Amino acid sequence: MLGLNSYSENLGEGIRVGVVDTGVGPHPYLSHVRSAGAFLNGNRLQTPDSTNDVAEHGTHVAGTIGARPASGSKDFAGIAPGVELVAARVYPGGGPPTMESGPTTNGDIAQAILTLARDEECDIINLSSAGPMRSRVEADRITAALNRGTLVICSVGNGNGLPIMYPAAEPVAVGVSALGPTGGVPFGVMDMFSYPPQPDRFSFAGFYAPNFISVGIETKCTGPGVGIISTAPAQGAAEVPYVSMSGTSMSAPAVTGALAAILSRDSTYKSLPRNRERSSYAWRVLLRSARTLGLNQQYQGYGMPVVQVS
Amino acid sequence: MRNKSYVIAIKSEKENEVQQDWVDQIRDFSGVEIQGATSDQVTVLANEDSIKRLAGELGDDFLIEEGIMRN
């Protein structure tokens, strides 16, 4: 998937990606991640451990984008291991089982986006958080990010067929849906329940639009989001844990990583000033790289990006 | 009237036009309690009546909306 068939340590080099999530790490293959702090209940905290993961979600997302294994280890790597990653934690932690991250809010997400775009000068921001209600503050910050040259890539949400969630549904956001490989899900695992009953959700290209996705014409593109293996927080220095997760939270970073990989080999993009011209260029590159899978637009948008770099 | 959480944010296109003491202005406003603040936005607890009065005081350079949960 995504057209990647070989590993290159410097894929993604020169591209800075912000991850707005539950925090990142610790994980030995994510030691290059820089912290922008935690954004909680309207405050910004910048202590040494402020972006340690309070669940597993953010570590998984960051690993998909840019996990950097030890040279020669042949362990799982991120799609663009050369990227510079900047973490912003917006979840407080301390939630009940299955929701350990606790909920986040529009205000903290908006502040994190603003900080990553304006102060950290990220090229791309990945936001794998969503909700059914629109936020004008989030929309304002995503627009401001575009004007500073930053593209914001958002998961469309896991609404089981309900409309695309916000902020992915904003016209200024890149809303990403998810795909699974038909026949690629082992018998007996939970991911089997993501097979949809509707025939129009299966593509000629061997993929399906899982039944957990939110659906709508605001979907810009799609990416792998079923049974995605990526990094999990390590409990000890010797641990190198991985875990499998499914959802549009997993497909958004796959698309983010793919775009970072493509842009890292684009000298025109790198020469552009940090303004709307830069983010519009990145947006066009992403959509041009998308290949249709033959699914309805409300499931796949323009399709799945394919990384074609030498 | 029940207190709710609100976010008050400077509109991005107005960030260079707003007076620097705007957070103090909110802090001094009766019926509004600041929960957290940066130079760009504040999170407050207030009831609907107080937030309407504050919105009138602050003017059009700000976005004010209820706290919305995201997962």
pLDDT tens for each residue of A208-229: 999 999 999 999 999 999 999 9
Q: What pLDDT is recorded for position A265?
A: 96
Q: Which of B10, B12, B44, B63 to mutate to test the interface with A (most CBs of A within 10 A)?
A: B12
Asked if A46 reaches chain B (Cβ–Cβ under 8 Å), the answer is no
Strands A84-89 vs A16-21: parallel, antiparallel or unpaired: parallel
Q: Where are the domains of chain A?
A: 16-305
Structural domain boundaries, residue B56: 4-66
> Taking residues A94-123, what's their average pLDDT?
93
Distance (Å, rounded) from C-alpha A230 to C-alpha A234? 12
Strands A228-231 vs A242-245: parallel, antiparallel or unpaired: antiparallel
Asked if B42 reaches chain A (Cβ–Cβ under 8 Å), the answer is yes
pLDDT tops 90 at residue A2? no
Question: Which residue in the set A105, A111, A131 is minimally distant from B40, CB to CB?
Answer: A111
> Taking residues A51-62, what's their average pLDDT?
97
The full DSSP string for A288-300 is HHEE--S--HHHH
Q: What pLDDT is recorded for position A101?
A: 86
Q: What is the ipTM of this complex?
A: 0.97
Mean pLDDT of chain A: 95
Question: Measured between beta carbons, which residues in chain A are less than 8 angstroms from residue B65?
Answer: 106, 135-137
Q: Do B69 and A147 touch (CB under 8 A)?
A: no
pLDDT tops 80 at residue A189? no
Q: Do A110 and B9 touch (CB under 8 A)?
A: yes
Phi then psi dihedrals of residue A157, to 5 deg:
100, 160
Distance (Å, rounded) from C-alpha A117 to C-alpha A104? 19
Helices (H), chain A: 57-66, 106-114, 136-147, 248-264, 267-271, 276-289, 297-300
Element (H, E) at B55: helix B48-58
Q: What is the percent of chain B where pLDDT is above 70?
A: 100
Overall pTM surpassing 0.95 (yes/no): yes
| Residue B38, token pair as written in the block | 């940066």
> Taking residues A123-137, what's their average pLDDT?
98
Question: Which residue in the set B35, B68, B70 is minimally distant from A42, CB to CB?
Answer: B35
What digits encode the pLDDT tens for the residues B6-31?
A: 999 999 999 999 888 999 999 999 99
Number of folded domains in chain B?
Answer: 1
Question: Measured between beta carbons, which residues in chain B are less than 8 angstroms from residue A141?
Answer: 9, 12
pLDDT tops 80 at residue A275? yes
Question: Measured between beta carbons, which residues in chain B are less than 8 angstroms from residue A99?
Answer: 71
Distance (Å, rounded) from C-alpha A279 to C-alpha A82? 20
Is residue B71 assigned to a domain?
no
Q: What pLDDT is recorded for position A286?
A: 98
Higher pLDDT, A97 or A110: A110
Asked if B65 reaches chain A (Cβ–Cβ under 8 Å), the answer is yes
CATH of the domain at B44: 3.30.70.80
The full DSSP string for A176-200 is EEEEEETT-SPTTSGGGGG--S-GG
Q: What pLDDT is recorded for position A295?
A: 97
Q: What pLDDT is recorded for position A237?
A: 77
Asked if A135 reaches chain B (Cβ–Cβ under 8 Å), the answer is yes
> Taking residues A60-86, what's their average pLDDT?
94
Q: Do B69 and A140 touch (CB under 8 A)?
A: no
> Taking residues A30-58, what's their average pLDDT?
96
Distance (Å, rounded) from C-alpha A69 to C-alpha A92? 28
Asked if A307 reaches chain B (Cβ–Cβ under 8 Å), the answer is no
Distance (Å, rounded) from C-alpha A219 to C-alpha A287? 12
What's the number of CA atoms in the CB half-sphere (13 Å) around residue A297? 4
Distant-in-sequence, close-in-space partners of A62: CB < 8 Å, separation ≥ 6: A19, A21, A24, A25, A30, A33, A78, A85, A87, A231, A253
pLDDT tops 80 at residue A1? no
Q: CATH classification of A16-305, choosing from 3.40.190.290, 3.40.50.200, 3.90.1170.50, 3.40.50.300?
A: 3.40.50.200
Q: What pLDDT is recorded for position B4?
A: 96
Question: Measured between beta carbons, which residues in chain B are less than 8 angstroms from residue A43?
Answer: 36-38
Distance from CA of B70 to the nearest CA of A (A): 5
What's the number of CA atoms in the CB half-sphere (13 Å) around residue A31? 7
Question: Exposed, middle or buried, B49 (CB in 10 Å: 0-12/13-18/19+)?
Answer: exposed
Q: What is the percent of chain A where pLDDT is above 90?
A: 85
